[in-house]
Amino acid sequence: MGFFDKAIKNIVKKAKPMLPVAAMFAAPYLAPKLGGFLAAGGKGAGLGSLLSGYGTKFGAMPMMLKAPVTSGLTSYGLARLMGQKNPERAALYSALTAVPFSFMKANSMANALGGDVSAMDLLMAPGGQPITQTIPRFGVEGNMKGLPLNVMPKTQYLGDTTRTLSPGMKLSDLFRTQQAGKSFLGADIPAGSFDIKAGLPLLAGLTGGMPTEAQTEEMMREKEKKRMAQLYDMMKNPYYSYVPDKFNFTPYETGGEVSGPGGPKDDAINAKLSDGEFVMTAKAVENFGNGSRIKGAKKMYKMMNKLDPESEKPSEAMV
């Protein structure tokens, strides 16, 4: 893999956790462009016609179902895009979180309307249609002029009139602040502004998509296998004294750092030593470098070269 390939891969890897937030902020700007692309006369008109049929069925769903379905599908797509281990669980967590969140928004919207409708009325209205109330109209039959005071006028039914109680609840209402208020820092939050709490279902989905303990252990094992494979490939470099494919051993007649398979205390590296030589433990080297094995080895080299000018230099070890 080239330098630029690695750089792009690292950038994408670091940007993955920000994808849910980026998608949430980009949606209002990308939606009009996508709509124009799929509309009649656009380049994607055929696809738009197909999606329109599904969109009609989706639009007819009440908000009680539409909110969790939308959150679940969005979290599933983001989890797959980010390479998370459990996209199905991400969708489930997001959908379950969207139910109380949508009820909270509907309740706030109902309070803003003055109490004429309830939160459940808004959530159960099909397709976010307006909620109306039918009121019968009655009038006096005939002319009241000249009617004796002791005679009750006759009333007649004149028809019904329709009163709109609410314009209905739309998906966009989930992202808006329904009532003006103040943030925890004391800043004014106007009604209709973007509500940061709208990201809660996506955050729940992000949490649900994270690997389980067993999956984490399996990932760590796979990572360790790859690390060991890379280590054995690196051993073919002359810098290492152990060549596993030939099983040859390089004597440490001039001293130097020991590198190879195994851990600090596994004794997995065969070495030929000379009479009078002294071997330091890996922990001693690390402590000599204030916690860094590399720095400790450099200090060891410096001390050894000072005491024995003919000993191996760090530059020679890297050849």
DSSP state of 82: T
Query: Which tokens sit at 211?
Result: 């690997």
Question: What pTM was estimated for this model as a whole?
Answer: 0.51
Please state, for a pLDDT cut of 90, what percent of the chain lies above it: 8
pLDDT at 138 over 80: no
Distance (Å, whole) CA 289 – CA 79 = 42
Q: Which of 89, 75, 76 is nearest to 212 (CA)?
A: 89
Which residues are paired to 194 by β-bridges? 176
**Residue 185: per-residue pLDDT:** 73
What does the chain come to in residues?
A: 319
Is the separation of the CB atoms in 282 and 293 below 8 Å?
Answer: yes
Query: Which of 32-46, 96-110, 220-234, 299-313: highest mean pLDDT?
Result: 96-110
- With bands split at pLDDT 50, 70 and 90, how would you rate the model's confidence at 144? low
Structure confidence at residue 62 as a pLDDT band (50, 70, 90): confident
Per-residue pLDDT at 265 = 61
Residue 93 has pLDDT above 90, yes or no: yes
Tell me, what amino acid is at 97?
T
Alpha-carbon span 196 to 257, nearest angstrom: 55
> Each residue of 145-197: pLDDT tens digit?
666 666 666 777 777 778 777 887 888 888 878 777 776 677 777 777 778 88
Q: How far apart are CA 202 and CA 42, in angstroms?
A: 31
Looking at residue 259, its pLDDT comes to 67
Residue from 65, 99, 63, 105 nearest 194 by CA:
105
Residue labelled with tokens 């976010």? 128
Give the burial string for 52-61 (b: 16+ CB within 10 Å, else e): eeeeeeeeee
